[in-house]
Amino acid sequence: MTGDWREDRIGSALRGENPTVLRRLDAGFAVIGDVQFLPGYTVLLADEPDVRRLSDLPRPKRRAFLADMDRLGEAVERACRRLDPAFRRVNLEILGNTDDFLHAHVWPRFDWEPAASVRKPVWLYPRERWTDERFALGPRHDPLRQAIGTELDALTSTPTPTPTPAPAPAPE
């Protein structure tokens, strides 16, 4: 490994050195979040380190990134729904205010969240949730990692149905 993978999350993923990578997708990497105060938090990293915003990608790659975000969101939803009956929904966000590379956050939300937080953006959670070692990614999250990875695999192998063209109107 060349240095701390956190300093170059995308480059380390491309080199196979990022331990948070769940799967390689069409336009990026699905990674599990460093913090897990909402179990199942994942991030989609674009696979091009110099891309700073979605609009920097050519349209076909942009569509692929958004499709990957959708796939990761659905995988997290399926896994979390299976593992926790209090699962509510998934929030998807592309922000880019702190990290200067294209990425999308996938936040599962649960009924057991504190009343003061459950209906607000995750970013308003108290600061200690982000830094408390109790919520740091660790081996206890391996079953969750496996569940999300399994769902990603299932969604990747599921062919997208081709729409049937509408019949041509009958000549008059």
Q: Which amino acid belongs to residue 50?
A: D
Average pLDDT value for residue range 54-77: 97
Q: Worst-scoring range by mean pLDDT, 54-63, 80-89, 121-130?
A: 121-130
pLDDT bracket for residue 6 (50, 70, 90): confident
Q: Worst-scoring range by mean pLDDT, 55-64, 97-106, 119-128, 153-162?
A: 153-162
pLDDT bracket for residue 1 (50, 70, 90): very low
Task: List, in order, residues 6 or more apart from 22 with CB less than 8 Å away.
Answer: 29, 30, 31, 32, 42, 145, 148, 149, 152
Average pLDDT value for residue range 77-85: 97
d(CA 71, CA 121): 21
- β partners of residue 32: 42
Q: Check if the beta carbon of residue 9 is closer than 8 Å to that of residue 108.
A: no
Please name the fold of domain 5-157: HIT family, subunit A (3.30.428)
DSSP 8-state symbol, 46: E
Q: How many Cα neighbours within 13 Å face the side chain of 76?
A: 30
pLDDT bracket for residue 162 (50, 70, 90): very low
d(CA 71, CA 160): 12
pLDDT bracket for residue 97 (50, 70, 90): confident
Answer yes or no: is pLDDT of 167 > 80: no
DSSP 8-state symbol, 162: P
Percent of the chain with pLDDT over 90: 78
Its sign, for the CA torsion 85, 90, 130, 141, is: positive
d(CA 38, CA 21): 18
- Domain layout of the chain by residue ranges: 5-157
DSSP 8-state symbol, 37: S
pLDDT in tens, 98-140: 888 999 999 999 999 999 898 899 999 989 999 999 999 999 9
Please give the mean pLDDT across all residues of the chain.
Answer: 90
d(CA 97, CA 79): 28
Average pLDDT value for residue range 72-97: 96
d(CA 125, CA 121): 8
